[in-house]
């Protein structure tokens, strides 16, 4: 009887442990290495590095720029563009909170917030600029992922390996280059033939 009680206790403890383990492995960081997180303790910028390049390879810094056209530039969605193609950086750094990617406004953008409400395959990584909210209903789909152990990569929807830089079809500036998740030929916001695969690294911000 004592042995039966011990076995029953052990089984119950095991059953309780399994959901806890599954919870730790779920969400935007599922499948990535230990230390991957949806809430890093530091602010950062993003840099697009050619896929397959070494750990110390030079990348293209990414900044917020105007995206697909609305009725006016102010009404458009915003995207992550290469700083070289957009030409300025009014949102100097980014935070990641519970999987929500949140560009932070500079002095001229004070009182505004940039929110991503979802990124599907084929999409540019889009943000909507609205009045800053304490608890916006933003998509919690991003991860600061340890893939190789040499650098921290941005992942979306549990995937760090399908980002690309593509030439935009918008004409806000000449030859604007935007970040796209898993590009496809059917999307008219960028020219598919120009897309080049990249990994997106998080660079700690010390400004």
User: Does the pLDDT of residue 130 top 80, yes or no?
Assistant: yes
- How many structural domains does the chain have? 1
Q: Is residue 117 part of a domain?
A: yes
**Tokens linked to 43:** 């602010």
**Banded pLDDT at 10 (limits 50, 70, 90):** very low
User: Does the pLDDT of residue 110 top 90, yes or no?
Assistant: no
User: Does the pLDDT of residue 19 top 80, yes or no?
Assistant: no
Q: Is residue 103 part of a domain?
A: yes
- Higher-pLDDT residue of 207 and 24 is 207
User: Does the pLDDT of residue 43 top 70, yes or no?
Assistant: yes
Most confident of 51-55, 149-153, 175-179: 175-179
SS3 label, residue 151: coil
Q: Are strands 44-50 and 126-131 parallel, antiparallel or unpaired?
A: unpaired
Q: Is residue 5 part of a domain?
A: no
Q: Is residue 17 part of a domain?
A: no
E runs forming strands in the chain: 44-50, 60-66, 78-82, 93-97, 100-104, 112-115, 126-131, 142-146, 152-156, 163-167, 177-181, 196-204
Instruction: State the DSSP code for 28.
Output: T
User: What tens digit of pLDDT does each residue of 139-148 get?
Assistant: 999 999 998 8
**CA distances to 3, 65, 153 from 127, in Å:** 59, 10, 19
Instruction: State the DSSP code for 37.
Output: B
Most confident of 8-12, 85-89, 147-151: 85-89
Q: Is residue 62 part of a domain?
A: yes
**CA distances to 92, 166, 201 from 145, in Å:** 21, 23, 9
- Higher-pLDDT residue of 76 and 194 is 194
User: Does the pLDDT of residue 63 top 70, yes or no?
Assistant: yes
**Banded pLDDT at 26 (limits 50, 70, 90):** low
User: Does the pLDDT of residue 70 top 80, yes or no?
Assistant: no
User: Does the pLDDT of residue 16 top 60, yes or no?
Assistant: no
Percentage with pLDDT > 70 across the chain:
83
Q: Is residue 127 part of a domain?
A: yes
SS3 label, residue 94: strand
Q: How big, in percent rounded to 5, are the helix, strand and coil portions of the chain?
A: 20, 35, 45
User: Does the pLDDT of residue 180 top 60, yes or no?
Assistant: yes
User: Does the pLDDT of residue 12 top 80, yes or no?
Assistant: no
Q: Is residue 53 part of a domain?
A: yes
- Mean pLDDT over 13-33 rounds to 54
Q: Contact at 8 Å (CB) between 144 and 34?
A: no
What's residue 76's pLDDT?
66
Q: Is residue 3 part of a domain?
A: no
What's residue 47's pLDDT?
98
Domain hosting residue 59, numbered range: 31-204
- Mean pLDDT over 185-190 rounds to 95
**Which domain CATH number covers 125?**
2.80.10
């Amino acid at each position: 009887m004592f042995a039966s009680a011990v076995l029953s206790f052990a089984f119950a403890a095991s059953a309780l442990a399994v959901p806890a383990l599954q919870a730790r492995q779920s969400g935007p960081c599922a499948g990535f290495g230990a230390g991957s997180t949806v809430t890093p303790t530091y602010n950062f910028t993003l840099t697009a590095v050619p896929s397959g390049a070494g750990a110390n390879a030079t990348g293209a810094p990414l900044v917020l720029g105007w995206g697909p056209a609305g009725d006016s530039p102010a009404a458009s969605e915003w995207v992550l563009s290469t700083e070289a193609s957009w030409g300025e950086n009014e949102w100097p750094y980014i935070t990641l909170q519970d999987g929500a990617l949140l560009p932070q406004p500079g002095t001229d953008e004070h009182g505004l917030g940039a929110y991503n409400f979802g990124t599907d395959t084929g999409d540019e990584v889009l943000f909507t600029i609205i009045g800053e909210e304490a608890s916006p209903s933003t998509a919690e789909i991003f991860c600061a992922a340890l893939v190789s152990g040499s650098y921290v990569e941005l992942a979306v929807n549990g995937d760090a390996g399908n980002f690309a830089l593509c030439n935009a079809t918008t004409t806000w500036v000449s030859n604007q280059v935007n970040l796209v998740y898993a590009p496809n030929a059917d999307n008219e916001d960028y020219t598919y033939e120009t897309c080049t695969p990249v990994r997106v690294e998080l660079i700690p911000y010390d400004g």
